[in-house]
Chains A and B, each alone.
Chain A
Amino acid sequence: MLRFIFSRLLYLVPTFLGITIVAFAFPRLLKGDPVLLMAGERGVTPERHAEISAQLGFDKNIVLQYFDFVGRLFQGDFGNSLVTKKPVLSEFLTLFPATIELGFVAIVIAALVGVPIGVLAAIKRGSWFDQLSMSAALVGFSMPIFWWGLLLIIVFSGNLGWTPVSGRISLMYYFPNVTGFMLIDSLLSGQKGAFLSAVHHLILPSVVLATIPLAVIARQTRSAMLEVLGEDYVRTARAKGMPARRVIGVHALRNAMIPVVTTIGLQIGVLLAGAILTETIFSWPGIGKWMIDSISRRDYPSVQSGLLLVAGIVMLVNLLVDLTYGLINPRIRNK
């Protein structure tokens, strides 16, 4: 097992180096010059342009700039944002909990709602429920998130007044940031009503963010269940006279869950993409919106280090998943 872990860790080295190259190259391949964008309509003299570029280190050879970037990474220095002039790492760490919180709640909603719908649709294949839920899933899957978010705001916050329009908590609550997770911090603050307000603010954005993963999970569950329900062992179980609930709950669902769990895992990427739009609509202070702002301003240090941090986290999560598979299935770790 140790050897397996070691080999997995070894794989990370080239992957990580590859990511540093992509993260470094991506913002520079986009057209647009951060110095010109800073100057705007007014323009900047060639001398001043050269001066600022030199100050930011952009005048150096591109290869040197890359090695400089990687060299600093090993010292834990992720650079400073060109826009705010603040360390990128501290900005990232400030914003990341908000994205995690939203993403976590969204994926929980997607799984808790999506799996039962998929199972029911499979069992009642061809029924009105199956047809309705699968059409709804198709609509959900193709939903333009921005429009959907705005629609929910107008209906539930504007017309009905059930939910707040945007933000993470009512502005009347004010307490220090301890963990960055509003649900936890509001409890820690001990202020009456703060936790409920945080939950209240989470409802619409997490529903919006959950929409696409929910649709994918429901469809995947349905097809996996249908496949399993046609297997010999299910037929055998039924033939033995086992109650239907047990056949479905134990024999079918467990086996069907394997691809579904993989699908849920794959939704992490979809969530991060969806977070960009969801965070913008709901004024949610997370990394999705931050990355977009950084890209549009060609804030090279923020974009490259932000990409690297996100990729690094995804890599670590994958590593953990790999290791868990190894624990469960000896065939994988001995391969």
Chain B
Amino acid sequence: MKLLSRSLLAASALALSAAAPAMAKTFIYCSEASPEGFDPAPYTAGTTFDAGAHPIYNRLAEFKKGTTEAEPGLAESWDISEDGTEYTFHLRKGVKFHSNDKFTPTRDFNADDVVFSFERQGSADHPWHQYIPGVTYEYYTSMDMPKLVKSVEKVDDYTVKVTLNSPEAPFIANLAMPFMSIVSKEYADTLDAAGTREDFNNAPIGTGPFKFVAYQKDAVIRYQKNADYWGDAPLIDDLVFAITPDAAVRLQKLKAGECHLMPFPAPADLAGISADPNLKMDEQAGLNVGYLAYNTTLAPFDNPKVRKALNMAINKEAIVANVFEGHAEPAKNPIPPTMWSYNEAIQDDPYDPEASKKLLEEAGVAGLSMQIWAMPVQRPYMPNARRTAEMMQADLAKVGVKAEIVSYEWGEYLDKSMEPGRPGAVILGWTGDNGDPDNFLSVLLSCASAGPGGANRAFWCNEEFSALLAKAKVSSDPAERTKLYEEAQVIFKDQAPWFTIAHSTQYVPMSNKVSGFVQSPLGDYVFDTVDIAE
């Protein structure tokens, strides 16, 4: 009798454990596009990072949830030398890499992995630099890492020293970006031996909160909770990305309960989502800016007075209300208000056609005709450039300025808008990479970026402004940097190389059952803290 009851107990325990997977918490995310691959280093798209870098990998430093502030990740701490060029990272111990059917790690994460993660991107003769034909490391290159990093040395198993060619305050923020995800050297060696290097990208192994399970191209990505995660383990058991490119269809899936959360709702759907009792919506000011850049090297736009006058002729509120349907904040500074060092005190140029006319007269400009370039694509910072341009055109006509709207194919637009001597003003924008003001101001407005290959489409080179940026870049004192950037914004507003349009709002609709989702100012979708009530 006793024996029987024991075996019954065992059987019921077995049945329970067999039933457990059915009760597993599965979180479904209706993602907007397919990832290009899973190795974060060769790619630049946010979608790719959401599918690879964030669930599967970690970095030496990580952005603190919901902020752009870097905090320790796989490095528990770091020391910076007096001159700001030597970074010594103390690595976290006991961090395990994932395993899959082809690979089981024999050791914990260590300094070899860090050195490998840097060198495969930075040195062209590294055996893993070209592990897939045609692979390039655009993010590493565009963040100027090849120029910046002098050497990466393993001091001991848990200490790595990175030497820079010059001090760079945003360096730690760069390390928290997806392209600097730490990959496993042991996995690379295993794949080398097996002759299946492409699996490094197709069957990724990382240290992150979720393990990669499978990807059905253009359809579904599956992940499983990493039970050995070094940080707080995820609350859900399975994570699924259901790739759904159309925004209206994503919303229908969300409403039908086929997924729990979606990115990028169509602006026209926002009111309906708010009214739906089964859904809720998270909103946050995006880390972006949309702008109109004058060509400040071309008369009469080389005269700040003329630029100011044009800025005062355009009705910004109307653009925000109509083009953005109110889902944006009018911009007065080149950096968004969610970013540290945003200068609250600055007064925007008022919308005042009469004053504008007067200023133009004072500058001796009459019968001005100009071009406004409208980009052909929709971006998070600019839902409809053509319509924006038309509204600007109408406003400018009221002060006697004749504007002609031009557009080109997107690649051509990006290229031609950087050609010196370009006629007219260009509508464009920017979304921040790492939350550092330098990533906006230096990239978009410094003298160095006003030449070929840069992104300063106003060709604006103000020595004083650039000097402030250079000073801030090498300072490691946040208070000093804040002050310098605030001063820089004063010069910007005074000189008006741009008409700053708006900072658009990011909306994340989700089911009422979802809790714990924290929006990232950088626009990342990360699910290690989400939970669902069943």
Contacts and interface: CB of A to CB of B under 8 A. Distances in A.
Interface of A: 30-34, 36-49, 52, 55-56, 80, 82-86, 91, 94-95, 150, 153-154, 157-158, 161, 164-168, 171, 174, 177, 280-283, 285-286, 289-290, 293, 298
A258 to B, nearest CB: 39
A165 B258 CA distance: 8
A244 B99 CA distance: 72
B53 to A, nearest CB: 16
A280 B42 contact: no
A80 B414 contact: no
B422 interface: no
Contact of A38 (B44, B217, B412, B428): B44
B77 interface: no
B132 A283 contact: no
A299 to B, nearest CB: 10
Given A31-B411, A86-B37, 16 more contacts: A36-B412, A37-B411, A37-B414, A40-B44, A44-B142, A47-B453, A49-B453, A80-B132, A85-B201, A157-B256, A164-B256, A165-B249, A165-B252, A166-B258, A283-B249, A285-B218
A265 B408 CA distance: 39
A30 B410 CA distance: 12
B428 A41 contact: yes
Contact of B138 (A39, A56, A283): A39
A157 B183 CA distance: 42
A86 B198 contact: yes
B331 interface: no
B455 interface: yes
A89 B295 CA distance: 46
Contacts of B418: 43
A95 B240 contact: no
B414 A36 contact: yes
B354 to A, nearest CB: 35
Contact of A289 (B136, B214, B218): B218
B216 A177 contact: yes
Contacts of B138: 38-39
Contacts of B133: 80, 85
A285 B253 contact: no
A56 B133 CA distance: 9
Interface centre among B138, B201, B214 (most CB of A within 10 A): B138
Interface of B: 26, 28, 34, 36-37, 42, 44, 132-136, 138, 141-142, 198, 201-202, 214, 216-220, 222, 240, 242-246, 248-249, 252-253, 255-256, 258, 408-412, 414-415, 418, 428-430, 443, 452-455
Interface centre among B135, B218, B410, B418 (most CB of A within 10 A): B218
B256 A91 contact: no
Contacts, number: 140
A85 B42 contact: yes
A192 B418 CA distance: 59
A84 B429 CA distance: 26
A49 B452 CA distance: 11
A93 to B, nearest CB: 10
Contact of A158 (B218, B252, B411, B455): B252
A290 B218 contact: yes
Contact of B248 (A33, A34, A42, A150): A150
Contacts of B409: 30-32
11 contacts: A33-B411, A37-B414, A46-B452, A85-B36, A85-B135, A86-B132, A157-B256, A166-B258, A171-B26, A281-B246, A282-B249
B217 A41 contact: no
Contacts of B202: 86
B252 A157 contact: yes
Contacts of B243: 283, 285
A283 B44 contact: no
A85 B134 contact: yes
B256 A171 contact: no
B444 to A, nearest CB: 9
A41 B134 contact: no
Contacts of A47: 453
Contacts of B415: 33, 36
Given A37-B411, A43-B453, A298-B411, A289 B245 contact: yes
B284 to A, nearest CB: 21
Interface centre among A31, A52, A167, A174 (most CB of B within 10 A): A167
A221 B218 CA distance: 38
A295 B376 CA distance: 16
Given A48-B141, A164-B258, A95 B135 contact: no
A49 B411 CA distance: 13
Nearest to A43: B455
A285 B216 contact: yes
B250 to A, nearest CB: 9
Contacts of B136: 52, 55
Nearest to B135: A85
Contacts of A38: 44, 138
Interface centre among B42, B201, B252 (most CB of A within 10 A): B252
A55 B133 CA distance: 9
Nearest to A283: B244
A283 B242 contact: yes
Contacts of A285: 216-219, 243
A47 to B, nearest CB: 8
B218 A43 contact: no
A158 B410 contact: no
Chain A to chain B: the 5 pairs with minimum beta-carbon distance, closest first = A45-B453, A285-B218, A32-B411, A285-B219, A36-B411
A40 B135 CA distance: 17
A283 B142 contact: no
A152 to B, nearest CB: 11
